[in-house]
Amino acid sequence: MLKSLLKPFFLFLILIFCADPIMAQTKTAGVETETLRVGIAGSKPFVFDESETGISLDIWEKIAKKKSWSYEYVSFENVNDALSKGGVDLVVGPISITAKRLETMQFSQPFYNSSISIISRMDNRGIWQIIKPLFSIKLLLAIGSFLIILAIVGSFLWIAERKKSPEQFPHDPLKGIGTGMWLAIVTMSTTGYGDRAPITLIGRIIAGLWMVISIIFATSMVAGIASILTLSTLESTTVSTIEQLSGRKAATISGSPSEEFLIKTKVKVIGVDNLDEAIEKLESKDVDAVVFDRPQLLYFLKNNVRENLYIGKAEYYKQGYGFAFPVNSQLILDVNRTLLKLAENQEIEKIIHTYIQKDE
């Protein structure tokens, strides 16, 4: 009788002790099978909205596959809207990791190291571009200095020769100094017409000193003038460095790190919604350059034949791209661990190079 009563009691205890683990397993399974809301924000080649492909999306899908996560995509204009209004679990795209953004969101480790670069036009040189070097400040200063030196030498020659050789060096100061300058030029150039020559000892000493000085100094000055003209002629119409853009107009995506970078470098910023609009403003000469993330610029040039566009070698504001999460997200550790494994296996590099060729 007692045994028959104890048997159901023990079965009851077993059910009580086993119930909590079973319920816990069920709850955990529910979390693992919950569909994640993944925000999409960014531009090509990291995000292609129409086909749900791109560097960022391909990397995310590899992570989700390895973790057996189910998810659904939701498109947004920018990362801030996705996290503040979209109610998403994370945002996938070319999202720059910045100190300012860390105030309102968290990031994964970077999966791509980017930078900011400049695209500009290679315009054909017009008549003004060809003759413009002749009016440069440096050239005018060099010519002015040279004429002053000639005037000084000519004056000395006139003062020395005017009494002994009035037929060569007239008493009129204007004509006499002009004759002295002519003699200085002929002497400096070693032409030696012989139509004018000093006959006094002092005049010959001045002419001799001028010959030595002209070899050392005047010839170098003439070479400098020629160098200024040559460099100005060879000067390209492209923009290679950010210093060349100071005070000029440049287009970039509104709200991007490029915009903040341009403001700091005293460039007149023209904000646009996308890269296509920025390039359009560049080609229509509304702006002097487009400044944006280098991988997007390289991708654009690779897939759009633009022989009149040039991307500079200079890179600025180097930054990492990562995935963005709400501040209290529990996904970051798993995402980072999987990103490391993908990087170690060269899988991320393979994905990147299917969209962007290696930067030369």
Do residues 230 and 133 share a domain?
yes
Please state the separation of Cα 98 from the chain's center in Å: 18
Do residues 158 and 140 share a domain?
yes
Inside any domain, residue 6: no
CATH of the domain at 96: 3.40.190.10
Longest dimension (CA), the chain: 156
User: pLDDT-derived band of residue 50, with 50, 70 and 90 as boundaries?
Assistant: low
Do residues 135 and 229 share a domain?
yes
Do residues 307 and 343 share a domain?
no
Do residues 141 and 217 share a domain?
yes
Inside any domain, residue 120: no
Inside any domain, residue 360: no
Q: pLDDT by residue (tens digit) across 188-244? A: 777 767 677 888 888 888 888 888 887 777 667 667 666 665 655 545 568 888 998
Do residues 277 and 226 share a domain?
no
Average model confidence (pLDDT) for the chain?
81
Give the mean model confidence (pLDDT) for residues 84-92.
Answer: 87
Do residues 91 and 178 share a domain?
no
202, 234, 266: which is the final residue of a domain?
234
User: pTM to 2 decimals?
Assistant: 0.55
Q: pLDDT by residue (tens digit) across 102-115? A: 888 999 999 999 89
Inside any domain, residue 7: no
Q: pLDDT by residue (tens digit) across 270-286? A: 999 888 899 999 999 99
**pLDDT value for 163:** 84
**pLDDT value for 231:** 55
Do residues 132 and 201 share a domain?
yes
High-pLDDT (> 70) share of the chain, %: 80
199, 234, 269: which is the final residue of a domain?
234
Rg (CA), the chain: 38
CATH of the domain at 221: 1.10.287.70
Do residues 88 and 64 share a domain?
yes
Do residues 146 and 225 share a domain?
yes
Inside any domain, residue 312: yes
Q: How many domains is the chain partitioned into structurally? A: 3
> By residue range, what is the domain housing residue 97?
28-114+320-355
Inside any domain, residue 266: yes
Inside any domain, residue 74: yes
Give the mean model confidence (pLDDT) for residues 143-165.
Answer: 86
Residue 78 has pLDDT above 80, yes or no: no
191, 213, 234: which is the final residue of a domain?
234
Residue 182 has pLDDT above 50, yes or no: yes
Do residues 303 and 339 share a domain?
no
Do residues 268 and 226 share a domain?
no
Inside any domain, residue 342: yes
